[in-house]
Amino acid sequence: MKLWKKGFSLLLFLAVAWAAMQSFALGKIERNKVIKKDFAGKAEIVALHQYGPLAVKKSPDGKVHLTAEMLLTGSNEAEMEEVLNRFDIAVQESANELRLTTDLGIQSCNTINNRMTIKYKDGQKVKGVNNFKVNMTLEVPNPEKLTLENKFDRIELTDDYAGALRVELYSGDLLAANLGNLDLNLKYGKVKAKNIGKAKLVIYNSEMRVGDVASAEVSSKYSKYELGNVAGDLHLETYDDKWQVGDVNGKLSLNDKYSEFKFENIGEVEMSTIFDAEFLAEKVGDMSIRDTKYSEYKLTAVGRVKLDNVFDDDYRIAEIGSLEASNSKYTEYRVQQLGSNFNLGQSFDDTVELEQVSAGFSYIGFDGKYTEMTVSIADGAQFQLDVDMKYGKVKYPEKRVEMMKYLEKDNQTVVQANVGSPQTSGKINSLKMRGFDNTLEWRN
């Protein structure tokens, strides 16, 4: 009895294995269809593609050459033939434009358990296909404008293209050599190119790695960038991005939330609204920020910084010419070398440390509450020390000052003193503090 059961089990296993092999074999039918078309060169060429890679090459003879191949695997030859018969490349041609569209007539396409159900726009359904792909290769001369669209696969330009390129790409990669002007709308993809001219980018949840760029206007979310140098201006509207850029020779305009930035040298920076961002740069000319909250700024060298509204930020600056803020709250400023001016305007609960102030500085001060400032000023400086506040603390090297007035009364502290031989009229260099419960520590 046991031998009979073992024999039956073996026969059952072999039968199931044979059936599976037959099913697999039936599911591995392969078919294809190739379409080739040639056209005269046009000023504008449009290729609208999907379901496979789109490759663009330079034409050897000034004409447009199209090769499109559909590849199918499945289990039902009749239904596979139906899919191949419906495959075509639609052509619209005028004097200046050639428009090519991959025409499958498909309304929807779903795959369950390696079985694909294709529903066509006319209502017919096909279920005998496991998978399909359409490869398109386009050889073009040098049109003034080239428009490419693709879904679910890549677009590749193997040769340099100096014209105006417009790309719409969904769930695919853009691979290119050197490009002229680029207008790109990308979701869920990657870009890799050598150098780009003027760029207009709308990017979502993607990655971009390119060489140098002439100039760029970017709207981006959840994306990552590695760029070389930008010759002109760079305008960014960003959300939760990561940016690494070389030099920006023109102006950087920025509006951002939750992003990280790392730059080399920047000619000018103009920021509108910054929220919870990280900004690093080596050398910056002038920098202005309208509204900034919860952000970190690390600068190696900057000329002039102008801040309007600052809230709970952190500034780490190695060398700066001047900084001026209109309204600052809960913010930390750490400056290694200050050249001429540091003016916080209205300050509330800030922390300021000026490690080394040049002898030729013009103004340091604020009008605030609960702010702490520590400052070291080079020997030879000539200025006036001017403090008038309530419930505050003032420390200074007495040997360096010539006291003019000192008053402590009713919790009010007034200090007026000369350091060196400051001017007595016109523009007077000064270290000035006004307000309530502030702390000034001038270290020798």
Instruction: List, for residues 62-91, the tens digit of each pLDDT value.
Output: 999 999 999 999 888 888 898 899 999 999
Percent share of the chain, pLDDT over 70: 93
Q: What is the pLDDT of residues 163-211, one digit of tens each?
A: 999 999 999 999 999 999 999 999 999 999 999 999 999 999 999 999 9
> What pLDDT, on the 0 to 100 scale, is given for residue 9?
56
Decide if pLDDT at 147 tops 80. yes
Residue type for position 359: A
Count of alpha carbons within 13 angstroms of residue 218, beta-carbon side: 29
Q: pLDDT confidence of 117, banded at 50, 70, 90? A: confident
Of 403, 405, 409, 374, nearest in space to 389 by CA? 409
Alpha-carbon distance 400 to 275, whole Å?
42
> What pLDDT, on the 0 to 100 scale, is given for residue 441?
95
CA dist list (Å): 399 to 215, 229, 420, 443: 55, 51, 11, 12
- Region 3-22: mean pLDDT is 49
Better pLDDT: 328 or 409 = 328
Q: What is the pLDDT of residues 421-436, one digit of tens each?
A: 766 666 789 999 999 9
> What pLDDT, on the 0 to 100 scale, is given for residue 79?
87
Q: pLDDT confidence of 10, banded at 50, 70, 90? A: low
Q: pLDDT confidence of 4, banded at 50, 70, 90? A: very low
- Region 315-326: mean pLDDT is 97
Q: Are strands 29-39 and 64-74 parallel, antiparallel or unpaired?
A: antiparallel
Alpha-carbon distance 319 to 307, whole Å?
17
> What pLDDT, on the 0 to 100 scale, is given for residue 55?
98
- Region 359-384: mean pLDDT is 95
Of 102, 93, 104, 94, nearest in space to 48 by CA? 102
Q: pLDDT confidence of 123, banded at 50, 70, 90? A: confident
Better pLDDT: 22 or 123 = 123
Decide if pLDDT at 14 tops 90. no
Worst-scoring range by mean pLDDT, 81-85, 113-117, 166-170, 259-263? 113-117
Worst-scoring range by mean pLDDT, 111-115, 243-247, 283-287, 296-300? 111-115
pTM of full prediction above 0.95: no
Place of tokens 């603390």: 393
Q: pLDDT confidence of 22, banded at 50, 70, 90? A: very low
Collect all residues with Cβ–Cβ distance below 8 Å to 232 and sequence separation of at least 6.
Answer: 198, 214, 215, 249, 250
> Which helix (H) or strand (E) segment is 283 a member of?
strand 278-293
* Residue 400 DSSP code: G
**Residue 316 neighbours by CB distance under 10 Å:** 15
- Region 17-34: mean pLDDT is 64
Alpha-carbon distance 105 to 52, whole Å?
15
> What pLDDT, on the 0 to 100 scale, is given for residue 259?
98
> What pLDDT, on the 0 to 100 scale, is given for residue 105?
85
Collect all residues with Cβ–Cβ distance below 8 Å to 39 and sequence separation of at least 6.
Answer: 63, 64, 65, 66, 91, 93, 98
Alpha-carbon distance 205 to 241, whole Å?
9
Decide if pLDDT at 19 tops 60. no
Decide if pLDDT at 12 tops 70. no
Q: What's the chain's average pLDDT?
A: 91
> What pLDDT, on the 0 to 100 scale, is given for residue 24?
45
> What pLDDT, on the 0 to 100 scale, is given for residue 2?
47
Q: Are 359 and 341 in contact (CB under 8 A)?
A: no
Q: pLDDT confidence of 16, banded at 50, 70, 90? A: very low
Worst-scoring range by mean pLDDT, 15-29, 40-54, 224-238, 422-436? 15-29
